[in-house]
Structure 1
Amino acid sequence: MSQDERIYVVGNQKIIIEEGSAGQRILDIGGGGEGIIGLCYGNRVIAIDPRKDELEETPEGPLKIVMDARELSFLDNSFDAVTSFFTLMYINKDDHEKVFKEIYRVLKDNGEFVLWDATIPEYDGGIKDIFVIQLEIETPIKVIKTGYGVSRKDKVQDIEYFTRIGESIGFNVIKEEVRDKVFKIIFRK
């Protein structure tokens, strides 16, 4: 069996990151790799990622810190906004609630948590055990074509799943957008 036979591929999904006032201090959870949020908002962003190599790939602009989102080393009420751009799919589901609690803690009152992620369907036990989503991301700076992938086992998630976690922590859902297999949720503390 080839690697290609194992991959459940969701074809090109378009994401538009609009210029906006996300606040003066933005925490980007999983801000390594392409560093989409840092690319858009520059030095207003503190990009964290548990992997130093991912942060080293990120374009110049944001402050980059190796840190685990399950245990944020910031004081309470430190950020105007927190973002997570296709990051929670890489974090163990058992830790999602802990990550949301940490985000809630470091957000200022009325601050927003903006979450972009993908709907990952239930794994049926077949050979297609790897989930890959291809993205075309339109930013105010440039268009980026990329993809993200994870093992499908124990990774079922959708917009309702994250909405439930957010509301259970105390967030209010301000806006939800669904485009095919990708979604965006804006939570407010």
Structure 2
Amino acid sequence: MSGYYSLKDQHVEIKFESEDERVLIICSGGEDVFTKLLKERAVFITHEEDLLKSADQRSLRLLMNPTKLTFAPESFDTVVCFFTFFYFPKYKAIFENVNRVLKRWGKLLVWDVTIPKKVSHKSFFAVPLLIDDGLEMVKVVNVTKWKFEQSSGMIKKIARESGFKLVKEQTFNQVFHLEFSKISDMK
């Protein structure tokens, strides 16, 4: 594909063992697997109207910008960001909003990908992804304009500065999974 830089297939296992009551899913692109697992416990938000249709019908689905969450403070037990930053790289604003709506000691689960320095003649960065959610294997290709670099280290640093502590880290080739706990409110 001319103009595209594509990683090799990335395999990700999604294990959602939480029994939390209220889970916020921030989706800014790609495939939604979480509302299928969580059903009515999920509150699915996206800034893309077309993505609302992909969420499980039993979940609450809202059109909302992840940098301007309108929920009351400490409304959620868990927040999931699945390739959120890949499509919507407004890290600080998203972390600040998540901090506000997440309960103290709540979990923030991030799945995203390392994006290297841009290759001059390539305009798009593609990530073919095989998602194993324990029920089925889903294949998707995530594509974004290649404007920025991204690493798990950068996301961990911004999370730490935003009141989160890293609890668990996994790497699946170029894809990473970070689990944070909210330890303090934003000042």
TM-score band, normalised by shorter chain: over 0.9
| Mapped partners of 1:33, 1:64: distance in 2 | 16
Tell me the number of residue pairs that the alignment of Structure 1 and Structure 2 aligns. Answer: 182
Task: Report the Cα offset of residue 148 of structure 1.
Answer: 0.3
User: Within 2, Cα distance between the matches of 1:62 and 1:34?
Assistant: 15
User: Equivalents in 2 of 1:105, 1:141: separation in Å?
Assistant: 32
* Counterpart for residue 127 of structure 1: 121
Structure with more helix by fraction: 1
CA root-mean-square deviation: 1.4
Once the two structures are TM-superposed, the CA of residue 33 in structure 1 deviates from its matched residue by 5.4
Structure 2 Cα separation of the partners of residues 19 and 169 of structure 1: 24
Structure 1, unaligned stretches of length 5 or more?
none
Q: Distance in 2 between matches of 1:33 and 1:133?
A: 10
* One-letter amino acid of the structure 1 residue matched with residue 177 of structure 2: K
Structure 2, unpaired ranges of 5+: 183-187
Q: 1:46 to 1:31 in 2, by over 3 A?
A: farther
Among 138, 156, 166, which residue is 2:159 paired with? 166
**Contact 1:136 / 1:146 at 8 angstroms: preserved in 2?**
yes
Normalising by structure 2, we get a TM-score of 0.92
Note the C-alpha offset of 1:31.
6.6
* 2:76 aligned with 1:83: no
The answer to whether structure 1 residue 182 and structure 2 residue 175 are counterparts is yes
Separation of aligned partners in 2, 1:107 and 1:119: 25
Q: Equivalent residues in 2 for 1:39-118 (5 A)?
A: 39-91=36-88, 93=89, 95-118=90-113
The Cα offsets for residues 162-182 of structure 1, whole Å up to 9 and x where unpaired, read as: 000000011000011112110
| 2-structure distance, mates of 1:57, 1:167 | 32
Structure 2 counterpart of 1:145: 139
| Distance (whole Å) between structure 1 residues aligned to residue 172 and residue 160 of structure 2 | 22
Q: Please, what TM-score do these two structures have when normalized by structure 1?
A: 0.91
Deviation beyond 6 Å, 4+ runs, structure 1? none
Change (3 A) 1:150 1:31: closer
- 8 Å contact 1:31–1:38 — kept in the other structure? no
